[in-house]
Amino acid sequence: MNTPGSPKGEYRTAQHEGNPVTRPRSLNIAVMALGGQGGGVLVDWLVALAERAGWTAQATSVAGVAQRTGATVYYLEIVEPTPGREPVMALMAVPGDVDVLIAAELMEAGRALERGLITPDRTTVIASSHRTYATQEKVVPGNGLADSAAVLGLVREASRHLIIHDMQALALSHGSVISASLFGALAGSGALPFPLADFEAVVEASGVGVKASLKALRAAALLAVDAPGAAPLSLPADPMLTAPRPLPERAAAPALQPLLDRIRARFPRAAWPWLGEGLARVVDWQDAAYGAEYLDRVAPFAARSEAVVIEAARWVAVAMSYDDVIRVADLKTRAERAARVRAEVNAGADDVVGTEEYFHPRLEEALGVLPRRWADRLDESPHLKAWLAPRLDRGRRIHTHTLRGHLQLRLVAGLRRFRRGNRRHAEETAHLQAWLTDAAQTPDDALAAEMLRCRRLVKGYSDTHARGSSRFDRLMQAALEMRGQPDAAQRLAALRDGLLRDANA
Amino acid sequence: MAERSFAREVRQLTVPAGTEFHGEGILAVTKALLEAGVGYVTGYQGAPISHLMDVLADAQPILNELGVYFEPAASEAAAAAALSASVNYPVRGAVTWKSTVGTNVASDALANLASGGVRGGALIIVGEDYGEGSSIMQERTHAFAMKSQMWLLDPKPHLPSIVKAVHDGFALSEATNTPVMLELRIRSCHLHGKFITRENRRPAFSLKDALENPQRDGSRIVLPPAAFMHEREKAEHRWPAAVKYIVDHQLNEFVDGELDHIGIVMLGGLTNNVQRALKLLDMSDLFGTSRVPQYILNVAYPLVEDEVVRFCEGKKAVLVIEEGQPDYHEQHINTILRRRGVGTAVHGKDLLPMGGDYTVAVLRKGIRGFLERHHPAAFAKPVTVAMPKPPAVSALLPPRPPGLCTGCPERPIFSAFKLAERELGTHHVSSDIGCHLFSSMPPFHIGSTTMGYGLGASSASAFNAGGQLGAGKRAVAFMGDGGFWHNGLTSGIANAVFNRHDNVFVIVDNNYSAATGGQDIPSSRVDNPNRSTSHAIESAVRGVGVEWVRTITRTYDVAAMRAALQEAMSTPFKGPKVVIAQSECMLNRQRREKPLAAKAVAAGERVLKERFGVDAAVCSGDHACMRLSGCPSLTLAPSGDALKPDPVAQVDDSCVACGHCGEVADAAVLCPSFYKTHKVQNPGSGERWRARWRQKLVGWLQARQQRERATRALYPS
């Protein structure tokens, strides 16, 4: 069995981009995918691709419990024809010994890097830039997302050649699945010595969803061919942030023009976009007079540092437009909302579409929309409350596509005109005033800005709102105690970020 | 009906002799069984051997034609006991399961089987779930083979070798009257490769003959004095017969190499990765032409003393490569060499780790250490090994443990349990094996122990002390329907009745043995032409004496689920409280219903297409819904509102409209952002007319609202 004279039955031939090509040519390919992404299909295609060219292919995977949404690693080796001799191939990817790494999700590309499967001397990386968020990222009460831009940077640095694109969206846009676009990008990358026609033939032979898969494959292949010339994909530092719109030249509704003029006249330019967003929010929530009230509330901060004005512009608007049943009913009955819902189910103009809302208002919410005096009366009558509670505090399903359901919600939304007199409004306004007074009376600009930012914790409905408010109150208490200390702002910011990361804190 | 269809694979089972068979390792084994003339096959599904069971279940007509009997056993113990058919009759039988968990369960039957010995070939195919990707405790099957004296085959991860091991296994079993274990690691089971087929063979001896002409041999029954005789037989007859067979048929392999002062002794199953490690050290080529001599143990047990001596004699040192601990081979080889006065040094666990996967990187390090010590010339010039830099990326990556699928009916059970705990405080929870064990992962964090399949209920036994000690809370035990029928009915529920347990038992009844791939079980509510199904779990638990039973027939009703759990946890009733939570596994349901729905749509029938959604403007970005759900289709998106910096919830296109997110939002009084949308495919003309009018009226109202809002708009729309 031994080849005399040579411990290795291999010889080196022509140089290829500085790397010697060893014979027989063999390529090691690892595929990182999530359960349910069709990684197995991609591997089957790769095996078929190699075998139709007469190459020897060996593939294996470790699914284990990962078949249920976890991460799965597939590994295959392909070797050019070696008549009469059978290559012995490894069953797992070896760090530093991978020619092609395919990752069906961005963090999985990062995981391949972590395992040493991407090395600058040889690895071509085909990766999708889209994210499938892990549970750990989703359960955070604030923004718990991993840093995509940083991971992409490290992957790019470690790859010999990187082809990265939102392969998921590309596949979907052609009515196909991500395995097709990844396979196409691989074809276009030139990392395998097989022509595009072979890739297409493999997909054609697989017999399922062929047309759509071929379209996705070709689109991805083109993209990969163009990759070296195209500008490198860059990801935003925080893809979840939405920038404020610039202040419009003229207010769309003439009634708001004086308020717009007032922003321009009385507030620093840096805060204009935020004041515009805030003003739009509160007038939409209530009315133009409420917009004037908003500017009155931000005005005491106008002469402070830019950061303080901006935070006041943002968070006063948020606090003034608290979530209540009136707002929810209004949002759910809007024309643009109905259009969005129809788009979600790909409905045409003639399609029959229905929407069922999941509501569960509690007695508190019902009392909240009553005039203060009435609500206080009810509080004094426990019998009446006990009688009302089970009748009001229960889950309700409202069909907003029906006239009846729509009118029910319009009726609630119409309570807007009585909102200023209701109990909830009184409570919210008192809470808001106390907070603004504390912030205004804090001479330290940095601390005042942080105190304003803490409003981010107060959000949602029912228990969520109660929990957020109590955490907010704790922070305000801490802020007052820290007032006057040199590092108060940083400490308050750290406390707040901690609470935004941990639901149980 | 299993999760995957094997129609294509089944066709390969009947290809003529001489055909090139392409497929994964475990399918090659399935084909080899038919070629070997197996008379009966049984087993218990579980990764990585589920496909063997699934293919045979789908191949029932072929088996009928060949005269091969197949049944999915109730447990691994039941499967092992079935091998008793080969004790008195010359019929070949094969069983399969996941190891070591399945071997643990089967041990009692296996020990009895191995004691009396077999006449027909008995092959135990174990899927060795050890190392990366494993879902169980890290142990090796080797110890079981040794303690009961069953031969253990560990073929090279190479389809022709695996197929050959099946044929060798039966022949070795018959030649030695001993059951033979055939061990396949995860990667070998899922290995894609090819081999040349032989003709399928009808069993040489039919079980019909056995039934019509029964035979018995009292000396095969495990009772004294026969049991003492069996032990002597094992040592005096069966072992020498095995050694003779292994040597005569050259089951182990000797690979020559020019560096004959050293050598490597390794398990067959590790060959490929060892070859790759040698190649990376410039000691071998792609074809396994090695400079280092090798002794490849395709038979891991027993070791053949003469072969060991033949390989080691004259060598300065050998490296023994076997994963896990203890170091059975290293110890035994040391004993053999000392006994025979051979001075070869034996290395193994001094250079290789005691535990964990022997990855190529680990092997390369160990072999390098061995060569540095005994063949330093190999390293005159340093071998450049491209080791990647320590990754700075680790800290950036979110962990991604497995979890419940989109639409899983078990998710609402755990959401409801969390809500019940909000009222009643946290409880001690004993978990079981199955998909429901994902409750221990984020976001639920429910469950403290898992003691084995179907043992969730029994593992809460000691906590029944609560009654005696006046505890204010009860223990709660979870168990799946798979575990329930595996042994939980007797070891868990009947035991709880007998010992007057006051605990709460939640039985997750999703229609299948879901975690292993959706195989049918006695309580499956589907028609299976080959099995008797629809045996209700409620009847079974009432049958063993449980009086307090609540069956929830739609787990997605979180409020009802919570009410049942709360009642069970707080009722003054003394005795076991059983809550049966029923809804079909969503993977299987989708697989069944999707094609039907597509067909109905094509046929012009009225079909509702549903999905859930979240109003981004209403969502607060607190993600409380995710902390109570963890549904993969419930994800995050930018709010689209500069004033809302936190990402909002979004339901992606993978939603199957199970309704869990909406039900949780309602039951936990979270928020009103969730809605369900339906689109009617092929609506009737009346429905169309009504929808048109509705849209007109509602549209008119919406336009009015929009005009009113325009009077307060700052930005142009």
Sketch the domain layout of chain B as residue ranges.
16-199+209-248, 253-376, 424-524+535-583, 589-682
User: What pLDDT, on the 0 to 100 scale, is given for residue A10?
Assistant: 36
Give the nearest partner residue to B192 out of A58, A133, A463, using CB atoms: A58
Apex B380 CA angle, B376 and B381, nearest 5: 135
Q: What is the mean pLDDT of chain A?
A: 90
The token pair at B40 is 């009966």
**The CATH number of domain B589-682, selected from 2.60.40, 3.30.70, 1.25.40, 3.40.50:** 3.30.70
- Rounded Cα distance between B696 and B705, Å, is 14
Give the nearest partner residue to A92 out of B360, B683, B694, using CB atoms: B360
User: What pLDDT, on the 0 to 100 scale, is given for residue A3?
Assistant: 36
Q: How far are the Cα atoms of B234, B352, B385 from residue B363, in angstroms, in the given order?
A: 35, 7, 14
Is the CATH number of domain B424-524+535-583 3.10.20.520?
no
B480 vs B630, residue with greater confidence: B480
Lowest mean pLDDT among A18-32, A337-351, B701-715: A18-32
Contact assessment for residue B261 and residue B374, using Cβ atoms and an 8 Å cutoff: yes
- Please give the average per-residue pLDDT across B420-446, as a whole number: 95
Q: Helix or strand or coil: residue B572?
A: coil
User: What pLDDT, on the 0 to 100 scale, is given for residue A228?
Assistant: 62
Give me the amino acid identity at A84: G
User: Is there a contact between B192 and A344 if contact means CB atoms under 8 Å apart?
Assistant: no
Closest CA to B461 of B508, B494, B503: B503
Residues linked to residue A165 through DSSP beta bridges, in sequence order:
A128
A466 vs B364, residue with greater confidence: B364
Strands B262-267 and B317-321: parallel
- Please give the average per-residue pLDDT across B578-601, as a whole number: 94
Residue B385 pLDDT greater than 80, yes or no? no
pLDDT band at residue A400, thresholds of 50, 70 and 90? Answer: very high
Sheet holding B548-552, edge to edge: B449-450, B429-431, B476-480, B504-509, B577-582, B548-552
Residue with tokens 């009315």: A287
Apex A403 CA angle, A401 and A409, nearest 5: 80
Give the nearest partner residue to B388 out of A70, A95, A401, using CB atoms: A95
pLDDT band at residue A115, thresholds of 50, 70 and 90? Answer: very high
- Rounded Cα distance between A194 and A307, Å, is 58
Q: How far are the Cα atoms of A275, A310, A425, A435, A437 from residue A430, in angstroms, in the given order?
A: 22, 22, 8, 9, 11
Question: Highest mean pLDDT: which of A22-36, B132-146, B236-250, B390-404?
Answer: B236-250
Closest CA to B326 of B134, B151, B148, B140: B140
Closest CA to A196 of A185, A205, A206: A185
Residue B520 pLDDT greater than 50, yes or no? yes
Strands A19-23 and A11-16: antiparallel
Assign 3-state DSSP to chain B and report helix, strand, coil percentages, each to 5.
40, 15, 40
**Sign of the alpha-carbon torsion through B69, B75, B80, B85:** negative
pLDDT in tens, A179-214: 999 999 999 999 999 999 999 999 999 888 899 999
The token pair at A296 is 């009155």
Strands A161-165 and A124-128: parallel
- Rounded Cα distance between A104 and A31, Å, is 8
User: Is there a contact between B276 and A94 if contact means CB atoms under 8 Å apart?
Assistant: yes
Contacts of A380 (CB under 8 A, 6+ apart): none
Residue B658 pLDDT greater than 90, yes or no? yes
Fold of the CATH domain B253-376: Rossmann fold (3.40.50)
User: What pLDDT, on the 0 to 100 scale, is given for residue A22?
Assistant: 66
User: What pLDDT, on the 0 to 100 scale, is given for residue B84?
Assistant: 98
User: What pLDDT, on the 0 to 100 scale, is given for residue A396?
Assistant: 86
Residue with tokens 């009772």: B223
Residue A8 pLDDT greater than 50, yes or no? no
Contact assessment for residue B147 and residue B103, using Cβ atoms and an 8 Å cutoff: no
Burial of B599 (0-12, 13-18, 19+ CB in 10 A): exposed
pLDDT band at residue B527, thresholds of 50, 70 and 90? Answer: confident
Give me the amino acid identity at B706: Q
User: What pLDDT, on the 0 to 100 scale, is given for residue B380?
Assistant: 62
Give the nearest partner residue to B694 out of A92, A151, A403, using CB atoms: A403
Residue with tokens 């994963």: B323
Burial of B662 (0-12, 13-18, 19+ CB in 10 A): buried
Query: What is the rounded radius of gyration, in angstroms, for the C-alpha atoms of chain B?
Result: 30
pLDDT in tens, B528-554: 899 999 999 999 999 999 999 999 999
- Rounded Cα distance between A492 and B4, Å, is 54
Write the DSSP string, B89-153.
S---EEEEEEETHHHHHHHHHHHHHHHH--SS-EEEEEEE--STT--S----THHHHHHHT-EEE
User: What pLDDT, on the 0 to 100 scale, is given for residue A425?
Assistant: 96
Phi/psi of residue B507, nearest 5 degrees? -105, 120
Give the nearest partner residue to A134 out of B400, B646, B717, using CB atoms: B400
pLDDT in tens, B321-339: 999 989 999 999 999 999 9
- Please give the average per-residue pLDDT across B583-611, as a whole number: 93
- Rounded Cα distance between A198 and B214, Å, is 60
- Rounded Cα distance between A103 and A109, Å, is 5
Residue A16 pLDDT greater than 70, yes or no? no
How is residue B452 annotated by DSSP? S
User: What pLDDT, on the 0 to 100 scale, is given for residue B443?
Assistant: 92
Contact assessment for residue B136 and residue B98, using Cβ atoms and an 8 Å cutoff: yes
Contact assessment for residue A297 and residue A316, using Cβ atoms and an 8 Å cutoff: yes
Q: Is A138 on the interface with B (CB under 8 A)?
A: yes
Contact assessment for residue A473 and residue A499, using Cβ atoms and an 8 Å cutoff: no
- Nearest CA-CA distance, residue A224 and chain B, Å: 25
- Rounded Cα distance between B668 and B558, Å, is 9
Contacts of A324 (CB under 8 A, 6+ apart): A365, A368, A369, A419, A424
User: What pLDDT, on the 0 to 100 scale, is given for residue A69?
Assistant: 65
- Rounded Cα distance between B499 and B96, Å, is 34
Q: How far are the Cα atoms of A494, B75, B313 from residue B453, in angstroms, in the given order?
A: 46, 10, 47
User: Is there a contact between A461 and B275 if contact means CB atoms under 8 Å apart?
Assistant: no
Distance between start and end Cα atoms, chain A:
67
User: What pLDDT, on the 0 to 100 scale, is given for residue B378?
Assistant: 79
Is the CATH number of domain A12-234 3.40.50.2000?
no
Residue B228 pLDDT greater than 70, yes or no? yes
The token pair at B384 is 């450049």
Write the DSSP string, B260-313.
TTEEEEEEGGGHHHHHHHHHHTTSB-TT--BSS-EEEESEEES--HHHHHHHHT
User: What pLDDT, on the 0 to 100 scale, is given for residue B573?
Assistant: 96
- Rounded Cα distance between A500 and B14, Å, is 61
Give the nearest partner residue to A252 out of B272, B702, B716, using CB atoms: B716
pLDDT band at residue B294, thresholds of 50, 70 and 90? Answer: very high
Q: Do domains B424-524+535-583 and B589-682 have the same CATH topology?
A: no
pLDDT band at residue B712, thresholds of 50, 70 and 90? Answer: very high
User: What pLDDT, on the 0 to 100 scale, is given for residue A61?
Assistant: 84
User: Is there a contact between A63 and B280 if contact means CB atoms under 8 Å apart?
Assistant: no
Q: Of B259, B393, B586, which to mutate for an interface test with A (greatest number of A Cβ within 10 Å)?
A: B393
- Please give the average per-residue pLDDT across A88-106, as a whole number: 95
Q: Of A68, A85, A295, A311, which to mutate for an interface test with B (greatest number of B Cβ within 10 Å)?
A: A68
Q: Of B49, B266, B284, B286, which to mutate for an interface test with A (greatest number of A Cβ within 10 Å)?
A: B286
Domain residue spans of chain A? 12-234, 254-314+426-501, 325-423
Contact assessment for residue A279 and residue A298, using Cβ atoms and an 8 Å cutoff: no
Q: Is A354 on the interface with B (CB under 8 A)?
A: yes
Apex A89 CA angle, B308 and B268, nearest 5: 25
Residue A126 pLDDT greater than 50, yes or no? yes
User: Is there a contact between A253 and B638 if contact means CB atoms under 8 Å apart?
Assistant: no
User: What pLDDT, on the 0 to 100 scale, is given for residue A230?
Assistant: 66
User: What pLDDT, on the 0 to 100 scale, is given for residue A349?
Assistant: 86
Lowest mean pLDDT among A29-38, A471-480, B39-48, B310-319: A29-38
DSSP H or E segment with residue A75: strand A71-79
Residue A5 pLDDT greater than 60, yes or no? no
Contact residues on chain B for A291, CB-CB shorter than 8 A: 712
Taking the C-alpha atoms of B437, B442, B443 and B447 in order, what is their torsion angle to the nearest 10 degrees? 40
Q: Of A23, A47, A138, which to mutate for an interface test with B (greatest number of B Cβ within 10 Å)?
A: A138
Residue A407 pLDDT greater than 60, yes or no? yes
Distance between start and end Cα atoms, chain B:
54
Lowest mean pLDDT among B65-79, B128-142, B327-341, B342-356: B128-142
Residue A361 pLDDT greater than 50, yes or no? yes
Q: How far are the Cα atoms of A81, A87, A260, B287, B392 from residue A84, in angstroms, in the given order?
A: 9, 10, 83, 11, 45
Q: Helix or strand or coil: residue B623?
A: coil
Fold of the CATH domain B16-199+209-248: Rossmann fold (3.40.50)
Closest CA to B683 of A465, A350, A389: A350
pLDDT band at residue B384, thresholds of 50, 70 and 90? Answer: low
How many other CB atoms are found less than 10 A from the CB of residue B585? 24
**Sign of the alpha-carbon torsion through B391, B394, B396, B398:** positive
